[in-house]
Homo-oligomer: A and B are copies of this chain.
Amino acid sequence: MEETLLITKALSDGTRLRIISALKGGELCVCQVVELLKLAPSTVSRHLHILSASGLIRSRKDTRWVYYRLADAGSPKKAARALKWVQGALEGDASIIQDSQALKKITRVSREALCRTQGKR
């Protein structure tokens, strides 16, 4: 029950549903998610932690950046099934579509706009 509740609680927040949908297109670093959601980095980090603890997403640290992606083969089956369900439920959702539009711009210019260090080189 605990494991399932971790998942349902993780899914019971609109911001976290947006994050899950945003990651459908592939991994993102925290600063990109921050840019999309327009929330404080600390807030976004907390949401990512909750999703991570539920097994719905995983993280990978590359030098100074941390990239998050949806649960995959190496993840618990329960998480994979939950993901499949919630993605179906959100299919065609207006705010999700809006986010995916915004994400296109972010992933295009993110390096210069968000990660100045990397952009300067």
Chain A interface residues (CB < 8 Å from chain B): 1, 4-5, 7-9, 11-12, 14, 17, 78, 81-82, 85-86, 88-90, 93-96
Cα(A82)–Cα(B11), bound, Å? 12
Q: Which of B5, B82, B93 touches A4 (beta carbons < 8 Å)?
A: B93
Known A89-B81, A89-B82, A96-B1; judge A12-B9 contact (CB<8 A).
yes
Cα(A78)–Cα(B12), bound, Å? 15
A55 to chain B, nearest CB (A): 12
A91 to chain B, nearest CB (A): 10
Inter-chain contacts of A86 with B (CB < 8 A): 4, 8
Besides the contacts A4-B93, A8-B12, A11-B12, what 16 more A-B pairs have beta carbons closer than 8 Å? A1-B14, A1-B93, A1-B95, A4-B86, A4-B89, A4-B90, A5-B12, A5-B14, A7-B89, A8-B8, A9-B12, A12-B12, A81-B85, A81-B88, A82-B89, A85-B85
